Structure formats: C-alpha cells, structure tokens
Structure 1
Amino acid sequence: MTTRTARSSRGRRRGGSSHAVARRRSYKGPLWGVLAALTVLGAAGFVAVDGSSSGTGARSGPTERARSGRLGSTAPTSAPPTTSASPSPHTSPTPTPTPTPDIPATGPGTFITAAGGSGAVGSGTVLRYRVDVETGINLSPTDVARQVDRILADPRGWTADGRSAFERVSSGPADFVVRVATPGTVDKICGQYGLDTGGEVNCDVAKNVMVNLRRWLLATPVYAHRVKDYRALIINHEVGHFLGHGHVGCPGAGRPAPVMMQQIKGMHGCLPNVWPYDDRGRYVTGPAVS
C-alpha cells in the first residue's frame, strides 16, 4: 500500500499526462473517491509505523521514520517515540577522585602555636596544654586546636575518670604540648627518647604528644572514612600515655576496642572505638600488654 500511495503522490505533483486529465474529466466523481480512499488508507498505514499503540513506533528504525517524514504523514496523537540512542557522556560525568593530600616527608622542626585558649573542662587537677603545628605544613593551628579542645572536653574522654581536667593556653607554662608534625620531625623527636616511630605512628615523650601528619590526614584503613574519629583516637591514646596508662589488648571479639589498644596494628576481633569511656561512663579496657 505504501508504494501505490507514493506513486499517486508523485503523479499529482507533476500534474499527470493528458490521458490522465481526460480520465479525471470523464470520471470525476468515482476517481476522486478512489483517490481519496487510497490517500486515507496510506496515511493510516504510515501512522501505524511510527505511532502504533502497540509500541512498534518506538522500536521503528531510522529508515522507516525518514520514509514517513518524506511522504508527509500525519503526526500521531500519542507521545512521540523515545530514542534508543545512548545518552551523551556529558550528562553523567565521571566523579573526580579525592586527591591524596600532599604530605611532606619532613619539615624544619619549628612550630607555630595556636592563639587563644579554652576554659577548663573536667574536675580534679587542671592540666594546661598547648597546641603546636609544624611550620610549612598546610594546616591551620586554630583549626587543629579547636579539634583537640573538643576531643579533650568530650564526656566520653579522660575527664570521665573524675580526676582529670584540661585547659588550653597559648603562652606561659604548659603541662604537655600536642604537636602535629611531619613524619620526619616526629621520628626525630620521638627517637631522642629511644622510640622508633618509623615515619608512620605517633608517640608521647616527655611533655610532647607527637602527632604524625600522615595519621592526622589519612587515619588508618579501618578509619579511612572516619578520619575525624581517628583524630580523637590519636589524642586520647597519647594523652592516655601522658596520664600513665599503658597498652592493653582486645577484651574479646565483637567488643569495643580500648583506646589504649594499638589499633593501628590490627583490631583482633574488636570493634572500632575512639573513646576511653562509653556512653554510660564505663571505662573501656582490656588485658595489659607489654
């Protein structure tokens, strides 16, 4: 039916031969009726190709759609067919991976002290502390100090023992100093007291709570998506040493890991935990280890 309709359309555009004109004059009524019927049937056939209610229009190929367009088919009343072409890659950009922080291997060994201070938190003897950041590393001393302040003031922290209190100062005497430094500087200061930090870990020596910049920024695999939580573990673990607490092991599979456990060396079945005390004020500990 499609071929016959197309041929009739071309005949009408060209005007037709003299015999065709004569036939139209002699048989005007019946011939026009036949042509009108053929035109209607042809139009109906083309609508079925592109806009069939059965969904075939949506699956029709580009050749069928182009042919329908050239012959001037009537637009279907249903929604136009959806394209099956793949979306442009620009509509779904590939997420940009988070860049790895630039961590210098070592630094000058000089420090900038965070300005200001905090009020005393906890009860008992007040321990004054200072927060220093090594010169030349991309950390704000003010921001680091605020994080340390929050950690030491948390009710699950060391103030829960009822004997410890803390207050940050920026000048004058300090009982201990929290220092964030490059791995090389941590190794140097800790090594002066016989500790081997290997460019990887933190330490507490004399009045220095030494925080390795790599651990501050990257945490460990267990805490890779909870870096700020891991910072609480660093501070609580090393301040715990300053307070006289030694290392302990995992108390049992499925139980919270004590902060005095060396979690960087493995969890041994324990669950991640960064606070000395739980929400009920109970001390989280385990068997003593050397």
Structure 2
Amino acid sequence: MPSRTPGLRHVLGMAGMCTLSIAVLATMQLAGSSPESDHQGPAVNRLITVRAAPPSGSEPGGRPVSMGAAGRSSADLPDGPPVPVTGSGTWRVVPGAVRQAYAGHPDTYSVEIEDGVRLVDGDVGFGRFVDGVLHDPRSWIGDGVTALQRIEHGVPDLRIRLTSQNTARALCGYELPFDTSCRIDDAVYLSAARWIRGATSFSGRMDEYRQYMVNHEVGHFLGHEHELCDISGSFAPVMMQQTFSTRNDELADITATNPQQVDVPKDGKVCTPNAWPYPHATR
C-alpha cells in the first residue's frame, strides 16, 4: 500500500472561478497547501468563499473543455432533484458503531453530516450505506491488510463527512466549474450535490456512484493517488477521476489547465465505470 501523505487536498476533480464571491463559512481551519503540493503549510483560520462558475463549457480564461451532448461537459452535475446548497460549516456525528472488518489494527472512522443538510434516507441510512461500502470485500479491506472500524465516540483516524454544495466547493476547490469531493488531512468531504445527482459517467446508477465516492476518497486517505484508464473496455480504476469521465481523452481536456496528480494522455482509451478497488472479490 502506498504510504500516506498528510496535508494534501485530494479531489475527485476540481471546479472553476468567476467574479461573484459568496461567503459561506467563517473562521474554518484549513491546511495551507495547494491541491498539487507535496508539503503541508501551517493551518490557518480564514474566511472561506465560494465563487460562481463561469458559463458552462469554459475553463478559467475562457478555454473550452470537453463537451458532450447538448453542449454539456461529461463532468457537469447532472440534472435532478434539489441539492443542499448551504450548510453551517459544522458536522454532526451519525450515531452508530461497527466492528472492524479485518483482524489487523484498524483505522477508525466516524460518519458525519453537515448541519443544515438533510437526506431522504436520514442520517442513519447514510451511515449504514457508508459502512456497507467500507466493509465490503470489494473495498479496500480486500487487500487483506487494511482494517477499518467505525466509532461514534472519541477521536477517529478519519472523518467521513457529507457536505453541502457550497461548503464542498469552498473546501475542495472550484478552479474547474464542476462539483467534486475531496480529502483534506484526516477528513473526506463528500459533496451532497453529487450524492444526490451522481455523475454522467455512471448513467444514473446512484448506488454505484455513491460507492465510488466513498471508496475513491477513502483511497486518498489510505495513500492512493489518481490513476487512468489502462485497458479499454476494462473496469476503470477506482482512483480514476470517474466523476469527470472514464475516457482518458475527455479527462485530459477537462484537467488540462489544472493537473490532478497525473498526466493524462490522449490515447483513446475508454474504461467501464467501477466503484471498487477489488471488483472481482467474492462478497
């Protein structure tokens, strides 16, 4: 397993800036490192702002990104039901604890939801879904080494936080005009906008996309970096930025002005969406 790198902000993809600035959180602590930095700066308190996206289909500076049907990028948030736009910037712990999923020394995690965010399935339903993903042998425990245990009390090694649209944009970055999730230090921030509407690449398969969200961001916590489609027609690596695309050519266009840990070649390779690190493991 790759060694963990503290202090990095890892993202499923990052999204874009314009001129309108809306303050959504006050005095929140963030690591002072850029998304691409290998070094952590000192933690700072700052006012976090979210900037409105430029017109759909342009990057900062007006450069076009890869467009699909009806002039939309594959990385755009799909149409769908309303999403939680704003939250308080504080998180409530979802009650519940689960025994560790492997006999080794476990990393502990808590499941949390930003205050102001409400789900149809409720807090408990969200917690059960996350547990079901992380305790599935197709997830990271499938390597026979990783061990995870959910706790309700005490300080966890990892906080898994469902986060409103604006808070996720402020924390994860909005340098490209797309909603994303990310990992910052000992927390992963799952965009509630994506949780509710998914990603174009998953064609409306919401449970599968949510499984991907959890596995991808927890993968960053465990030390894994972004990957690319390697063999056309095969399962996409769970660490591929599938929120953007499962096509290397599209991913190269989308991330051209904001590299995401890996250089993406335009090699024509297209993978099948995949939510799991070990998709062939026996359940």
Q: TM-score, normalised by structure 1?
A: 0.59
Tell me the residue number matched to 1:279: 280
Out of 225-234 and 136-145, give the one that drifted further. Answer: 136-145
- Deviation per CA, 1:61-92: give whole Å up to 9, x if none: xxxxxxxxxxxxxxxxxxxxxxxxxxxxxxxx
1:182 CA drift (Å): 0.8
Which among 175, 178, 181 is matched to residue 163 of structure 2?
181
Correspondent of 1:134 among 114, 118, 128: 114
The 2-side partners of 1:144 and 1:135 are apart by: 14
Q: What code does the residue aligned with 2:111 have?
A: V
2:196 is matched with which residue?
Answer: 217
Q: Of the candidates 203, 228, 238, which is equivalent to residue 259 of structure 1?
A: 238
Deviation by residue 1:159-188 (Cα, 9 ceiling, x = unmatched): 011111111111102001010011211122
SS in 2 for 1:173: coil
CA contact (8 A) 1:123 1:162 kept: no
- What's 1:250 paired with? 229
Q: Specify the code of the residue in structure 1 equivalent to 2:85.
A: A
| Change in CA separation of 1:146 and 1:199 when aligned onto 2, cut-off 3 Å | same
The separation in 2 between residues aligned to 1:200 and 1:209, in whole angstroms, is 15
The separation in 1 between residues aligned to 2:176 and 2:123, in whole angstroms, is: 23
C-alpha deviation, 1:278, in angstroms? 2.6
Tell me, in whole angstroms, the C-alpha distance in 2 between the residues paired with 1:199 and 1:120.
35
Q: Contact 1:181 / 1:210 at 8 angstroms: preserved in 2?
A: yes
Deviation at 1:199, TM superposition (A): 5.8
Alpha-carbon distance in structure 2 between the residues aligned to 1:120 and 1:273:
25
Partner of 1:144 in structure 2? 126
Q: In the alignment, what sits opposite 1:20?
A: none
Contact 2:84 2:118 (8 Å CA) reproduced: no
Q: Which residue of 2 aligns with 1:120?
A: 100
Shift of 1:149: 0.2
How big is the shift at 1:197?
7.2
CA 1:196/1:132 → structure 2, altered by over 3 Å: closer, same or farther? farther
- Answer yes or no: is 1:205 the counterpart of 2:187: no
Query: What is the RMSD computed on CA atoms of the aligned residues?
Result: 1.9
**Which residue does the alignment assign to 1:72?**
none
Residues in 2 aligned to 1:103 and 1:219: alpha-carbon distance in whole angstroms: 11
Residue 7 of structure 1 aligns with which residue?
none
Stretches of 4+ aligned residues off by more than 4 angstroms: 195-199
Counterpart secondary structure, 1:228: helix
User: What percent identity do the matched residue pairs reach?
Assistant: 36
Q: TM-score, normalised by structure 2?
A: 0.60
Task: Tell me, in whole angstroms, the C-alpha distance in 2 between the residues paired with 1:179 and 1:122.
Answer: 23
Task: Report what 1:234 is aligned to.
Answer: 213
**Equivalent AA in structure 2 for residue 189 of structure 1:** L
- The answer (yes or no) to whether the contact 2:140–2:277 under 8 Å persists in 1 is yes
**Where in structure 1 are there 5+ consecutive unaligned residues?**
1-98, 282-290
* Aligned partners of 2:86 and 2:116 also within 8 Å: no
Higher relative contact order (CA 8 A, sep 6+): 2
Matched position secondary structure for 2:162: strand
Once residues 191 and 104 of structure 2 are traced to their aligned partners in structure 1, the CA distance between those partners, rounded to angstroms, is 30
Gap change, CA 1:197 and 1:153, over 3 Å in 2: farther
Structure 1 residue matching 2:147: 3-state secondary structure: strand
Q: Distance between the aligned counterparts of 2:240 and 2:273, measured in 1?
A: 11
- Matching of residue 111 in structure 1 with residue 86 in structure 2: no
Q: Answer 1 or 2: which has greater helix percent.
A: 1
Task: Give the counterpart letter for 2:94 in structure 1.
Answer: A
> 1:263, CA displacement in angstroms?
1.0
SS of alignment partner, residue 87 of structure 2: coil
- What secondary structure sits across from 1:255 in the alignment? coil
CA distance in 2, matches of 1:260, 1:272: 11
Residue segments in structure 2 that go unaligned for 5+ positions in a row: 1-78, 248-269
| C-alpha distance in 2 between matches for 1:110 and 1:241 | 22
Contact conserved, 1:202 with 1:211, CA < 8 A, in 2? yes
Residues 186 and 197, structure 1, Cα contact 8 Å, conserved in 2: no
